[in-house]
Chain A
Amino acid sequence: MVGVDVVSIVKDYGPARVLDGVSAAFEPGRFTSLLGPSGSGKTTLLRIIAGFVTPNAGTVSFGGVDVTGEPVWKRNVGMVFQSYALFPHMSVRDNIRFGLDRRGVRGEVANREVNRVLELVHLEGFDQRRPKELSGGQQQRVALARAIVTKPRVLLLDEPLSALDRRLRQGMQVELRRIQRESGLTTIFVTHDQEEALTLSDEVAILDRGRIVQHGSPTDIYERPRTRFAASFLGDANFFTGQVNAGAIEIGPYRLSTQDSLPAQGSAVTFAVRPEKMNFQAPRDGARPMNRFGATLREIIYAGATSTFLLADDSGSELKVFLQNRDMAWPSIGARVELSWSPSDTILVSE
């Protein structure tokens, strides 16, 4: 089990800079998601770690050893492709044995290893099938088995769940997590699905336009986003901009407090509030003072367990509130309401 470090990676495709000085440490045995919109450079970073792409500058090291100059076939990585890339002319067993064979592991030893991973991915008895005789979820598990059978130094996953339908994907997420824990592999997972990143990962790195903008645990990233991009890409957020005045933020007639440290008196600040942290009235037992903000209810979107409320503040910008449908004592559309939330949920973000 080794860690992976990338330092100051730069990659240009012609005039376009795809990665702009990316540095990150992927610790041994941890499951890290690279999360970002398409074009953020997450797949390029993964392919640089794999060795398919050579960076213009920067280093990749596995367990402290520089592998930047090593071609992919010498790096001993396991990779699962978006399309699975199973060899269609080989049986499941031959697919899985391919990497062992390359390492000189043959015969009975190889068969035992294949059986071991087949058991791990719950595909015993499928070893003589051809890939096209398997369902999407089964192909996915073969691809995973093929990638981990060689006990690679790092497991790389390129959006492997995106081709599956929703139900299957949720099942596979649980499976993937279990297999990763059991094998203990350092895992780097590329995805654009924020929910997937939050549920699966020990750590999430958010990429935006060729840079990692935030890297931390899922709760850390969700609860304490550092930038407007991180807050809006991962989950929903309401943004407010106001001025610092005497230890609070002033927006029109409202004074809002936060537990984050504020910049100098008079400077403009932006902060984010998650929609589920807001409510229409202050809790009765409110020992702590709550932030309050006036808005007009525009629309209610009912979704069974929860409802989404769309509101407009005095300047006309849209606000969003998520509530569980516990008592359903809702204000009517068009009503003037007062939103309240805790100062600890008032998160300063940079633009």
Chain B
Amino acid sequence: MVLVGRSWLLAVVAFLYLPIAVMIAMAFNASSLYALPIKPSLQWFVALAGDAPLLTATRNSLAIALFTSIVATLVGTLASIALSRQAFRGRSLLKALLLPPIAIPWLITGTAMLVFFFWTGIGRGLHAMMIGHVALAIPYVVLVVGTGMEAVRVDLEEAAMSLGSTPVHAFVAVTMPLLAPSIVAAGLFAFAVSLDQFVVSYFLSTPGVSTLPVEIYSSIRKGFTPEINAISAIFFGVSTLLVLLFAQLSNLGGNRGRR
């Protein structure tokens, strides 16, 4: 049974990674027709450097992701402090309100933003995507930081206050240092959410102003070039790095027991 189970797991992992491995391999293949065997070449990566729209889109993506990560982390952490440290009426309702942005299909959220932003004159473009991405990232930040807050027991702050700390000092001296890894993890997560976001960006982009995923999508739809392999391979690598960093910080695999 154990052997069957392990083989099944390996098959699943192979299924998950094979297409990605193929894509990465092809990014290094000189043939644009995916001819085997692979003739190693970096030409598609070199070609990327000359692809102005793609570079602009990449810059946009990074700018939006950076903005999202900073703003969503700040705003989400504040909300998380209130939601997990203070008892007030309507708290469970507010917690429930975090779910729609996560649970409603992005198609619906994205088109709703398009309608509202267009109608109210906020319009589309970079600023619209920033507004949208921050909203999508806030619930994740609240959840990640909230989990971190649960690990910091309330009586630690009380102990600090019994020793003469004001509530603000207790938070800064005791809670913040213990919460820092969670906040950094939340920031990374928000960055990844924004960087990978396609659907909402798609509806909020304009022909001149788009993000990397949107640009990749339109290239695929136009009939793609192997350059997309190259940028996708880089993209996959960056996402993976972010996730690994996040996993390390937030103890995703459950390998470090936190007291």
Question: Do A and B share a direct contact in the complex (Cβ within 8 angstroms)?
Answer: yes
Cα–Cα, bound, A52→B157 (Å): 11
B153 CB-CB contact with A under 8 Å: yes
| Residues of B in contact, count (CB < 8 Å) | 18
Chain A residues near B153 (CB-CB < 8 A): 83, 85
Chain B residues near A77 (CB-CB < 8 A): 162
B177 CB-CB contact with A under 8 Å: yes
Q: Given A87-B174, A89-B178, are A150 and B156 neighbors across the interface (CB < 8 Å)?
A: no
The reply to whether B161 and A73 form a contact with Cβ atoms under 8 Å apart is yes
- In the assembled complex, how far is the CB of residue B174 from the closest CB belonging to chain A, in whole angstroms? 6
The reply to whether B259 and A150 form a contact with Cβ atoms under 8 Å apart is no
| Residues of A in contact, count (CB < 8 Å) | 27
Q: Do most interface residues of chain B lie in helix, strand or loop, or is the interface mixed?
A: helix
B155 CB-CB contact with A under 8 Å: yes
The reply to whether A81 and B155 form a contact with Cβ atoms under 8 Å apart is yes
Interface string of B145-158 (1 = CB under 8 A from A): 00000000101101
The reply to whether A99 and B158 form a contact with Cβ atoms under 8 Å apart is no
B52 CB-CB contact with A under 8 Å: no
A282 CB-CB contact with B under 8 Å: no
The reply to whether A79 and B162 form a contact with Cβ atoms under 8 Å apart is yes
The reply to whether B155 and A83 form a contact with Cβ atoms under 8 Å apart is yes
Chain B residues near A86 (CB-CB < 8 A): 159
The reply to whether B165 and A87 form a contact with Cβ atoms under 8 Å apart is no
Nearest residue in A to B180 (C-beta to C-beta)? A89
Chain A residues near B7 (CB-CB < 8 A): none
Q: Given A79-B159, A83-B153, A87-B159, are A73 and B174 neighbors across the interface (CB < 8 Å)?
A: no
Cα–Cα, bound, A39→B160 (Å): 26
A103 CB-CB contact with B under 8 Å: yes
Nearest residue in B to A96 (C-beta to C-beta)? B163
B240 CB-CB contact with A under 8 Å: no
B32 CB-CB contact with A under 8 Å: no
Interface string of A66-108 (1 = CB under 8 A from B): 0000011110111101110111110000000011001100000
Cα–Cα, bound, A67→B119 (Å): 59
The reply to whether A98 and B155 form a contact with Cβ atoms under 8 Å apart is no
Chain B residues near A52 (CB-CB < 8 A): 158, 161
The reply to whether A150 and B163 form a contact with Cβ atoms under 8 Å apart is yes
Cα–Cα, bound, A77→B162 (Å): 6
- In the assembled complex, how far is the CB of residue B127 from the closest CB belonging to chain A, in whole angstroms? 39
The reply to whether B162 and A103 form a contact with Cβ atoms under 8 Å apart is no
Chain B residues near A78 (CB-CB < 8 A): 162
**Most chain-B CB neighbours within 10 Å: which of A72, A77, A98?**
A72
Chain A residues near B165 (CB-CB < 8 A): 73, 98, 102
B218 CB-CB contact with A under 8 Å: no
B166 CB-CB contact with A under 8 Å: yes
B164 CB-CB contact with A under 8 Å: yes
Cα–Cα, bound, A78→B161 (Å): 10
Q: Given A87-B174, A89-B178, A132-B259, are A103 and B159 neighbors across the interface (CB < 8 Å)?
A: no
A50 CB-CB contact with B under 8 Å: yes
The reply to whether A85 and B163 form a contact with Cβ atoms under 8 Å apart is no
Enumerate the 8 nearest inter-chain pairs by beta-carbon distance, A residue then B residue, closest first.
A102-B164, A99-B163, A85-B159, A79-B162, A85-B155, A72-B161, A81-B155, A73-B161
14 intermolecular pairs with C-beta atoms under 8 Å apart: A71-B161, A72-B162, A79-B162, A81-B158, A83-B153, A87-B159, A87-B160, A98-B163, A102-B163, A103-B164, A132-B259, A146-B163, A147-B162, A147-B163
Which residues of A are interface residues toward B (Cβ below 8 A)? 50, 52, 71-74, 76-79, 81-83, 85-89, 98-99, 102-103, 132, 146-147, 150, 156
